[in-house]
A = this chain, B = another copy of it.
């Protein structure tokens, strides 16, 4: 087999691992449990990954590839006004959460669990949020110059806020097992951000 990055066994570990990490958390997921679920022997795991931490970090990378795909899909859709594009991204994310049974966000979960003790995870996940926030900010800036939000607004700050509040709503959604915190958070945010058109 070749290092084309799409090795089937490794990919299955990443996919199964993403779901299991979301459900059980990092310390709550044993390597053996992962291997049983993915039907992969231990030797393969330590062939493809240096250790459990390396594995989880690669799962985060995989998760971020999905996030960027969603951002590409929504934020570049110039047929819609920029604020609607931003909102659509989060509604698409909400749809993903629904499919997983409202278990919230993997970044939020791993961030909460590990950032108190593991600097590598802390930095990596902080970086993830920054990236999402930055991409959102450029779209908000577009809305600003267009006059859809107040001209003295700070798009970067607004984007930061949106991502932060979203993560809080995602946690509450995980606790309740439904979408209500997510939708009402979006309603509040877009009503309050001073949108002049839809």
Q: Which of A124-154 contact B (CB under 8 A)?
A: 125-126, 129
- Is A117 positioned at the interface, with any CB of B under 8 Å from its CB? yes
Contact: B172 with A188, CB < 8 Å? Answer: no
Contact with B along A103-138 (1 / 0, CB 8 A): 110001101111111000010011001000000000
Contact: A171 with B171, CB < 8 Å? Answer: yes
| Residues of chain B lying within 8 A (CB to CB) of residue A188 | 161, 192
- Is A181 positioned at the interface, with any CB of B under 8 Å from its CB? yes
Q: How large is the interface on A (under 10, 10 to 19, 20 to 34, 35 or more residues)?
A: 35 or more
Q: Within the complex, which residue of B28, B104, B170 is in contact with A27, where a contact is CB–CB below 8 Å?
A: B28
Q: Which of A153-177 contact B (CB under 8 A)?
A: 157, 160-161, 163-172, 174-176
> Which chain A residues have a beta carbon within 8 Å of chain B's beta carbons?
22-28, 103-104, 108-109, 111-117, 122, 125-126, 129, 157, 160-161, 163-172, 174-176, 181, 184-185, 188, 192-193
A103-B116, A164-B185 are known contacts; what are 6 more A-B pairs with Cβ within 8 Å?
Answer: A125-B175, A126-B175, A164-B168, A164-B169, A166-B168, A168-B171
